[in-house]
């Protein structure tokens, strides 16, 4: 269970990116985060990942552990975070980057188990022929697949992915979400921001709709009130089959 209480994040004294958000997210489920540009999706995800300091009155608990009480190593063991953009400052190989996902397990001395996990997650992402390729030589989609393979190799309990599907081809996106559904059924928890609201409604167990830094809705994706809040937040017409501009 992820329990978020009274989360407020400010970029300046006069501007709140997240305004007093509280959420309860079940373990072993796929949770979607959606909202217009600038609504606070990335800020919310980064906060839950422990990358943004919390105010004194806010709290985030993950599996009964207070996020602020965890050190960097403990947090990295518990959470795998994938951001929306990736830079390539050095020419590390795909294999090396995927292995980094298991740093909390091998601590710089990867064993055969770590290498096997890295190869397996790379195969899942369709990278088995690119393991010795430099990250700097990859396409945008291949870089995203590499970072997602790194995340999968971590074998974490909580996966927080910010817009993971944006640069992926159709098959890679479908395979990734299919895998996430299987892993969630086995006890892993996923918190994923989606650009495609229709896809979020079809795949996720719950959906959180952000608007203007507020949580406009949180609940099951099959609840008709979710569609009502999507319409009011985005200014579109919505039903379970798709989203239409008014």
Going residue by residue through the chain (246 aa), what tens digit of pLDDT does each one get?
899 999 999 877 767 888 889 999 999 999 999 999 889 999 999 999 999 988 888 999 998 899 999 999 999 999 999 998 777 667 899 999 999 999 998 888 899 999 999 999 999 999 989 999 999 999 999 999 999 999 999 999 999 999 999 889 888 899 999 999 999 999 999 999 998 888 899 999 999 999 988 999 999 998 989 988 998 898 877 665 555 544
C-alpha to C-alpha distance for 119 and 99, rounded to whole angstroms: 9
For Cα atoms 183, 74, 193, give the angle at the middle one, nearest 5 degrees. Answer: 45
C-alpha to C-alpha distance for 205 and 160, rounded to whole angstroms: 15
Domain membership of residue 109 (yes or no) is: yes
Domain membership of residue 138 (yes or no) is: yes
Residue 31's SS3 state is: strand
C-alpha to C-alpha distance for 15 and 150, rounded to whole angstroms: 35
Domain membership of residue 213 (yes or no) is: no
For Cα atoms 25, 29, 34, give the angle at the middle one, nearest 5 degrees. Answer: 65
Q: Considering its fold, how many domains does the chain have in total?
A: 1
Domain membership of residue 127 (yes or no) is: yes
Domain membership of residue 197 (yes or no) is: no
Domain membership of residue 59 (yes or no) is: no
Residue 232's SS3 state is: helix
Report in angstroms the alpha-carbon separations of 146 from 55, 134, 142, 168: 34, 11, 6, 11
Domain membership of residue 130 (yes or no) is: yes
C-alpha to C-alpha distance for 155 and 179, rounded to whole angstroms: 13
Instruction: Give the predicted TM-score (pTM) of the model.
Output: 0.91
Domain that holds residue 108: 86-156
Domain membership of residue 241 (yes or no) is: no
């Amino acid at each position: 269970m992820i329990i978020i209480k009274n989360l407020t994040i400010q970029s300046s004294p006069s501007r709140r990116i997240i305004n007093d958000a509280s959420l309860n997210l079940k373990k072993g489920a796929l949770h979607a985060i959606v909202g217009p540009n600038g609504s606070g999706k990335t800020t919310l995800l980064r906060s839950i990942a422990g990358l943004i300091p919390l105010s004194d009155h806010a709290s985030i608990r993950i599996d009964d552990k207070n996020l602020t009480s965890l050190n960097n190593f403990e947090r990295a063991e518990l959470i795998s975070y994938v951001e929306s953009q990736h830079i390539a400052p050095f020419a590390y190989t795909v294999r090396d980057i995927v292995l980094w996902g298991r740093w909390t397990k091998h601590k710089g001395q990867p064993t055969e188990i770590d290498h096997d996990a890295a190869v397996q997650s790379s195969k899942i992402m369709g990278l088995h022929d690119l393991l010795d390729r430099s990250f700097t030589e990859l396409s945008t989609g291949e870089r995203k697949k590499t970072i997602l393979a790194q995340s999968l190799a971590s074998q974490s309990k909580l996966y927080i992915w910010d817009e993971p599907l944006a640069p992926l081809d159709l098959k890679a996106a479908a395979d990734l979400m299919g895998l996430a559904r299987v892993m969630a059924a086995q006890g892993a928890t996923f918190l994923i921001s989606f650009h495609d609201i229709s896809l979020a409604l079809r795949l996720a167990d719950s959906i959180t709709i952000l608007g203007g830094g507020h949580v406009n809705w949180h609940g099951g994706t099959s609840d008709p009130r979710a569609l009502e809040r999507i319409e009011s937040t985005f200014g579109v017409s919505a039903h379970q089959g798709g989203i239409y501009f008014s």
